[in-house]
Amino acid sequence: MRHDPVHDLIERTLGGERVPLARAISEVENDAPGAIAILDACFGRSGRAYRVGITGPPGAGKSTLVARLAQEYRRLGETVAIVAVDPTSPFSGGALLGDRVRMGELAGDEGVFIRSMATRGSLGGLAVHTAQVCDVLDAAGFGRILIETVGVGQSELEVAQTADTTVVVLVPESGDAVQAMKAGLMEIGDLFVINKADREGADRAAFAVRSALELRPVRSPWETPVLQTVAAKGTGVADLVAGLEGHLEYLRRHGGLEHRRRQRLEQRLRDLLRDQLWQALLGRVPESEWKASVEALVERRATPHQVALRIAGAAREATGSKR
């Protein structure tokens, strides 16, 4: 038992080795056979890292900002892991490209680890997988984990919210705060950043965000900062790090950290159960029955509700007879 390869992989990952870490993450991301053992081993050792979600519309300069954040954290002596959650874009190669750009600045630093995760269109799966990968990074000893999402849709917001703190990045042109409100961003941001603030309209954008924040029905003692950065030049990045650490401190002092982490774990348990139920069902429905059911729908011989009931019932029968 002691010398099986997965056990070895876990030991070396927890010991801080980078190559096994990368492999362990791949196992987790692909639901490979070793994934459960890795996750079970890492979960108990996680909970020490500060996880920061960074979200905002495409083009807000999140990747550059995240790279700068990592540099600043390194300057302060923290180890940093970056998890970039990119949509599956088989032909754009966005994920790889982003990594390469960043690699130039952070390459060769053992205190930084960068990982891209592709979204694979599986409902719920993305937030679960992100949280799992963060557990591995957490257990491997990284002090700060930056989770970057590309889009600003429902799933991306859920990913950003697996973190302890959520940063919303906007640009002066997204100025009209109404757009951010529409996208559901105002509710989830603990800190707001107007990036590319050397472009026209940054002050106006910051003001609009502040005004929109005033409308939030739930007030807390936390005064949500609205910062301005020029990530490409590094301007304002130290202030952002200070703001992040301030929020961590605030969460600790007010019991918010424990509360949030409890909520996150509960949500994660929900997502995981959903996935497991679905996988279990799939394993019990024969391909032929599935095809016949879809055909019945296409020809309007049955309704989706009727077909779903039949499939779920048949799957239950199958389990019953096995037990």
Sign of the dihedral defined by the CA atoms of residues 270, 272, 278, 283, in that order? negative
285, with CB counted inside 10 A (0-12, 13-18, 19+), is middle
Cβ nearer to a second copy, comparing 15 with 303: 303
Q: Does 323 bind a second copy (CB under 8 A)?
A: yes
Cβ nearer to a second copy, comparing 52 with 212: 212
Subset of 261-280 contacting a second copy (CB under 8 A) = 261-262, 265-266, 268-269, 271-274, 276-278, 280
Distance in Å, CB of 270 to a second copy, minimum: 8
Residue given tokens 């056979």 in the structure block = 33
Q: Which of 29, 78, 138, 156 binds a second copy (CB under 8 A)?
A: 156
Q: Does 203 bind a second copy (CB under 8 A)?
A: no
Q: Judged by CB under 8 A, which stretch of 72-80, 107-115, 150-158, 242-250 contacts a second copy? A: 150-158
Tell which residue, 163, 194, 199, has the closest CA to residue 85: 163
Q: Which of 183, 191, 227, 230 binds a second copy (CB under 8 A)?
A: 183
Tell which residue, 43, 48, 134, has the closest CA to residue 85: 134
- The number of beta carbons lying within 10 Å of the beta carbon of residue 170 is 29
Q: Does 211 bind a second copy (CB under 8 A)?
A: no
Q: Judged by CB under 8 A, which stretch of 173-181, 201-209, 232-240, 249-257 contacts a second copy? A: 173-181
Q: Does 178 bind a second copy (CB under 8 A)?
A: yes
Residue 286, SS3 per DSSP: coil
Q: Does 47 bind a second copy (CB under 8 A)?
A: yes
Distance in Å, CB of 47 to a second copy, minimum: 7
Q: Does 96 bind a second copy (CB under 8 A)?
A: no
Give me the long-range contacts of 24-27 (CB less than 8 A, separation at least 24): 24/136, 25/115, 25/133, 25/136, 25/137
H or E element at residue 191: strand 191-194
